[in-house]
Structure 1
């Protein structure tokens, strides 16, 4: 089969992340899509800094441990030279490997001791990196219980099989094959439900969660850990706001307050790799907007625009009022949308995802066809997405 990289790239362009967002929420262990050349096409769950900035020769290419397994056609779980547990599962179309689902990059409880045997000075000399950065990267490497590792392995296996099915469907027009693949997809969906059932123990009463977070915040206050205290309170408020699923209008002020807490937490995570500014006047903040409209656009800018860049970037949120229209802009200096994704979004392709279609429909349902989302810019210098709403609900178009 020739040119197999093309359907794999098309699948990514159709927003594979949104397609598997439900099952990806079952794990926080790294997982990424890689082609047969070792180029990382998409990070579904980000890899640790140690792997991205120290082990890999460049941020968008796998480390030598993975490359050696490509050459020997080995697959499954393996332990890298630093003791990290990894996984490599093939994506196959007509018995040909066109890519891999890979990741894990964690210590098991049996291999954690190897974390403390890494020669930091040797890495400094070989990688030309600061000792402090290397030490912090190593300290952030996770140790994961065996049951979570097993669940993540099953998750990777299901995604690899499902992608293989999607690719096969895209190049096959034989009715019998389509029927067979539909049955296999149904089986996979049932397995996903089983995985979700295994994680039901993670579901916690919201009031218990908020009370616990507030208790931890008070402990942090008495221990003079003020940054930790602030992060916990922000997380508590963010979770509480996100649970407000009622379909009604909220003030732009409450939406912006929620965004500020979200970005504050992300800033603590990404540090100097993330900068952000918010410039919305008090007058504009008094207007109303459907809840959770701005946050998905900001999250998209962070995940798909800023995160893939080695040096990070900046997100700017600003608003203006003109001719009875309020325009809220979310701009980033990331990598921009791939052309295929941009074309599908602009054509309202049902498979384009990214939450744009549903958010755009919500806005149009409230305000009319003249309003909604628009991608006004997307190129190598970044993207700008605008949200347009009227200053008054009367006079809908």
Structure 2
């Protein structure tokens, strides 16, 4: 698959959007250093004027590089984001990127100040850069424009930058896996064999493709919410949302094609609902009615999210979601009920017919994709059951108990 480089990440279309989002949330820019040592800033037009002035000299540029290098070594060694003070007295945040135990590099937030600009603060900085031969008026004007952040926002910035950078890296890895799997799938389809081993490989590949198709807009829109809240409110609620998003990303990206305990799958679903509730300011209540003896039962990962997403998308106003489990006829039956408008009977019949169809062509997302995945794991399992309630909709899944 090849090692991921930071230059691969910054070439992604989402990176520039992520840089602007981070700037809106914190007032800081997003930067990284390529293999040749050249530094890139996003958004480029928001680069700190003070840093630009310092790095206009050869010696200043060298000192900045040394400060960044030392900070990067600390962050990579500890494998966690840190804040540090540069040679000129400004504050920066560095986030290490580690993939599969390999140190890929670091992203930086761009310099800022924890205190408003003052004459005394200016006088403390001047001795540190006096030998650079810069015009004092230019230094003063640039110093007055240094982004101002408080300690709380700096802490939020560290968490937000870590979520953004690591999500972009994990997304690039997932995309590479998708491409590699697609190529391998074509090779297998050209083969004349239809053995059980081949069938298993094909199913595994399609499950991985499903993971790569998760909608990135939801994730970035959620990050946008976090950015807005980071500016408007105290840190606790923002920290909670960052944690929920991190949990959702971690669970979904680490569960590709895996079997997980039901309690873990329910926890991922709960985090998804929590983020949706905050993002859209919707009144969504989630009630869990889980049989205690079934919580540890293994189920395919990401089976609840498509069902819940369907309810959240089509039900307006206040929404009540209920997830129930029970044991019936040698199966664990998982039902998701809502109090939405339901589905017109004609459309419901069409959906039911498509679920029963043997034609497996098409996308792997949504309820049809979920039904298809379940068939891969359990060929003889009943199709997903969809029924209108009064009011609402019920979607039921049956998984054999082993």
More strand by share: 1
Higher helix share: 2
TM-score, shorter chain, exceeding 0.5: no
* TM-score after normalising by structure 2: 0.40
Q: Over alpha carbons, which structure has the higher Rg?
A: 2
Task: Tell me the TM-score normalised to structure 1 length.
Answer: 0.40
